[in-house]
Structure 1
Amino acid sequence: MVTSVVLPVSAVKAQENDRSELQHTQRLSKRFPDSAFLLLKEMYSKAIAGKDMQTMGTCLQQMGQICYYLGNYPKALDFHRQADKIFRETNNTEQVARNLNDMGLVYYQNRQMAVARKQYEEALSIYHRSGDREGLADTYGKIGHLYEKQKQYDSAFAFQRLALQQCADTGQQQLVAKIYENLGSIYEDLEKYDSAWYYFNRSLQLYDQVNDQVAGIEVINNLGDIYRKTCRYREAIGETHKALARAVIINDSYQKGSAYRDLGKAWHLLGQNDSAYYYIELSRKAAIDLYSAENNRQTAFLSVLFDIDKKNDEIVQLENARQFTVVITIAVIIVVVLLVVLGWVTISRQRLKIKNEQMLSKQNQHIYETQKDLMQAELANKQLQEERLMEELEIKKKGLTSYTLHIIEKNQSLEDLKNKLEIMIKDDKRDQKKQLQQLLHQINENFNHDQYWNEFRETIEQIHQPFFDNLKKYNDDLTPNDLRMLSLIKLNLASKDMATLLGISQDSLRVSRYRLKKKLNLENGESLTGFVQSL
């Protein structure tokens, strides 16, 4: 169910008054642009106060049209852009399209043809969607005019004809008149003067029907140009006099000066230079008057713009000051709140810090006590291990000593046995000689049995491992026999016992000790026993 919104009677009347005033300023802007601009500015201020976006956009658009009419293209473009923003925000597509066409004219005057065409294309797209034939006709005509100025006459004709098709049965005589004028201008550029005259004449008829005096004067001047270009100077003078008469009625200085100039050209072409000089002089005076009036109008308009900009600056400054005050107030409130929050957070964090420190202290104390217990247990364990190792070492030392004594006793018994057997061999009992030699050989083999020496070496290495590591630093080429002798020296055995263990004579032992001193690079006076005991 759709509900209709009924506006108050006062609001409806206010909207009607705004539309009426905007129509009035539209008519006033051509003759008194500065006055129209002031009225528009007042309406714009009221629209801002009443938040009437539609009136704001229309005022900006008309102010842009006035700036364009007075040749202030940058300012015109600025107003049109502001209007475009408002129309798009309010989703007023019809006004967006019209404003785009106005912007296209400004870009065209700035010789930005590509940008102008872009504005026209967007407006054309909007009119196509809405089905606005009048808007399509106006936009097609502007695009055709753009092609004409670029001397692309085929495209210019195509778009003007499209514009004419859209005007059929619309009753927009002024728009049709403008299209006819554009077609006449194209034919004139192509020097097809009959066709140009035809379209200019039809355009003039329509302008007269809608009482557009300024546009009618321009068309009459175009007809005079055609007569002059076709050497029909008398007819040209007649047309120009018609334009002059109309310009005098509406007191249009620009059109009067243009008519005087055209009359001077025509009389010059007829060879009557006195008349040509007369009208050229009138044209010059009209141009001076027009220039003076234009200067006064531009000065007044610029003064109005200056006052408007000054007021805008004051408004902006006041608004900025108000915003600054608001921002300062908000900032102070925020700072106070932040300080309160910061104080609360600081106190809370301090309390939390103290609590955490207490908890951490308890945890550290517990960890310390636990670590202390663990260290004590570990220390006790190490002491037990050390005691056990010392006991094992002592047992191994006792075993080594017992083992060494056992070997010495065994070798001494074997030595005695050997001596006895040698005595027996010297006897003349030849029948026992062979068996006794075999027994002697077996005894000799027992002197150097490796199994005993391997067990002996493993035991002594467990006790004196650094001793063997240090020996390698002095000489890495020591033989197993060398290592056996050095081990026995390390045990501090007597030379006789060492000879018995090794199964050699004491003389051989002295030779072996001498060779070891050479291998270990010991000097002659240095003691081998002292060196070994120091390792």
Structure 2
Amino acid sequence: MSEAKTKLLNGNLKTQNTIRFVEILLFCSFFISSNIFSQNSNLSQENIEKIFDKAIDLRFKNQDSSLILFQKSHELFLEKKDTIRAVRSLTEKSLVYANRAQYANSYNVLWSALILIDSTNLKVTKSNVYNQLGSIYNYFKREDKALEYLKRALKINKDLVREKKILSSELVRYYYSITTSYRELGKTELAKTYLDSSYLYFSESKTSLSKPFLEFEKANIFALQNRNDEALDIFKRIHPWFQEKQPSYLVLFYKFWGDVYLNLMQLDKSEALYKKALNISREYKSHIDFTPLIYEKLTELYLKQNDYENAFKNLEIAKNLDAKFFDSRSPNNQLLLEIKDDYRLEKERQKKLIQAHYLKQLEQEDEIKNLQRFILLVSVIFILIIGYFYIKNLRNKHKAEKQLIRRNKELEIKKAKELLELKNKELAASALQLIEKDEFMKNLKTKIREGEPTIKKSELNKILRSASVNNTSSWDEFKMRFIEVNKEFYDKIFEKYPKLSQGDQKICALIKLNMSSKEMSRLLGISVESVHTSRHRIRKKMNLSRNVNLEDYINSL
């Protein structure tokens, strides 16, 4: 058994040396081709994208060429200041390294991408880098770091959805990454929760991840829950899609499908699927890091068949591969497990430069601050002096304007009073004329009655009615003129004392014109006693006390 082990190890070493020799030859050839590319730095955007597309096409056919082309496209995109595509070249390059289980290289490339986009606002691109970093930490069972970066990527995209900058369906791939991490860590319930979220945001028309990937994870979770028949149904249903669309992913697909058959003790089917997975990995040079798990499962399978020789062979291969890919003694992973973090180192270097620059400025800052204080003091004093004179001038101007306005107002009031007095005098004169007219009409009536008897009685009454009508219209005309001149007085007295009769209003108007009781009686055709009675009635309606003079009160309105 030890001899078989030695042959197997020697065979592996020869194979590895041959592969390395071929890789060196390929690298040299593509280095020469890259020099040819470098001679023409004025490549168009379209030609650079062709280089990138060629690198994508060669990912599983010729990984060395793919790495060189990704690096070249990255440099050319940077020359064009196309940061998004430059970073994408790095993330794709990182995936190629990850497929080859060269995680230290993958890790360093991702940190280079993160440094490049750190000062930008490319949130989607940054979240993609975080997502890939989380996956690398997950390979090494660094649960805390893996989930930190995966959830940071998810949070960025949730914020973008909230800001309506991306569709909610874009969240699917980030929920899916966390689902696979929890499933690989054996946390089935948490994996199921995040898978449910993936289905919640999934959209057939607008999706960032194909549905068969979700179904694949669903089958794996069913298998962990011992729902093996349900898992098998899903594997059989989605198998054709992976064969057509994602043949390199069949390494994982066949491995987990084989696990279900192993659980059901259908060992022949399980063994066939594990061997298919290994063949696909060799053909596409894909998911090489996953092969130790497949060999471990083959070991378990052969033990159940009591085939100890094959079990031992597969266990040795699994241990060697595991040490190569994941052991800290492996040159591929020593750098990663030490977490030599270019990003943090770059940040520290920048911080030290800033501190050094700050220290150099400290001496200058004191002088600058003293000069600033002096300039500020002089400026404040100058502003205060200007402000004092400005405010003083403004106050003087305001005071002069107020005096001018007050004088103008006084003149306007004086003119208004004079005009009012003049009009009231005219009204008084008009009232006196009415009195004289009334007296004349009375005398005329007397003479007519005592005059010639030959005048017919009907004609006499007609003349008297005419005189009475003229008298009424004369009073109405007087009232209109009074209201026009003393409108404010008339409105106030009507508003304050609405119960005043027409006769009371006439008395008030005549009092406003400073007419005596005798003049009022003559104008109104009533006795002086009736005028006094009306005045007394008006006082009662106005609720005036005895010590208040009626004339003064009415004139004050």
Of structures 1 and 2, the larger Rg is shown by 1
Question: What is the TM-score with the length of structure 1 in the denominator?
Answer: 0.46
Whose relative contact order is higher, 1 or 2, with alpha carbons under 8 Å and at least 6 apart? 2
Question: What is the TM-score with the length of structure 2 in the denominator?
Answer: 0.45
